[in-house]
Chains A and B, each alone.
Chain A
Amino acid sequence: GESVGLHLPTLSVQEGDNSIINCAYSNSASDYFIWYKQESGKGPQFIIDIRSNMDKRQGQRVTVLLNKTVKHLSLQIAATQPGDSAVYFCAENLDDKIIFGKGTRLHILP
């Protein structure tokens, strides 16, 4: 069965606001999580990753938070831009396979 999943299929955010995309996972042994961005007609693009020995990791305009107690991770995008419009997947690397969650489509409102 699925190991990771996302709460919302779509999220609409005003341009310039911060976006928060949430994900829950079920396998407490999972130790490596990745967020991917997929634009229409393109392959998944790595955004940021986090290992289970961390609870926060920051990149350029993105932050991933990991709460192992409730098995939840989130992707925060600061100052959302039109180019952020895409489907976002949380995923885990399990035995050298990427297990994707269902994906959240991020819509940017003008």
Chain B
Amino acid sequence: AAGVIQSPRHLIKEKRETATLKCYPIPRHDTVYWYQQGPGQDPQFLISFYEKMQSDKGSIPDRFSAQQFSDYHSELNMSSLELGDSALYFCASSLGQGSYEQYFGPGTRLTVT
């Protein structure tokens, strides 16, 4: 069965650079969620989209922005990268809002040097 696809899987950037992470949800899923997991930490909710509109926002820095496109894929844009942004970034998708089941992708490991 098709799963959530994230690209790239690994990304190395320098401080103050920008990064773009992409997420392709499971086919027919219209809701996308982004989570950040720091080293040894639990995943933290960043932002979510339903039908191309932002549906909720968590602890996402102002330097980050995201959007969902007409094909339901989503991109997380990160600017003025800081060392503390080094983390695993997971995307999850679900069918419809308020669906209890979220399916997680394999994550993008971002390293900021």
Contact = CB atoms under 8 A, between A and B. Distances in A.
B90 to A, nearest CB: 5
Interface in B95-110: 97-107, 109
Contacts of B100: 32, 34, 49, 93
A32 B101 CA distance: 10
Nearest to B50: A96
Interface stretch (A39-47, A54-62, A72-80): A39-47
A98 B33 contact: yes
B6 to A, nearest CB: 8
B105 A96 contact: no
Given A42-B106, A95-B56, A100 B42 contact: yes
Contacts, number: 53
The range of chain B's interface size is 20 to 34
A50 to B, nearest CB: 11
Contact of B107 (A42, A46, A95, A103): A42
A96 B48 contact: yes
B58 interface: yes
A90 B74 CA distance: 26
A70 to B, nearest CB: 22
A38 to B, nearest CB: 9
Contacts of A43: 4, 90, 92, 104-107
Interface of A: 32, 34, 36, 41-46, 49, 89, 93, 95-103
Interface of B: 4, 31, 33, 35, 42-45, 48, 55-56, 58, 90, 92, 97-107, 109
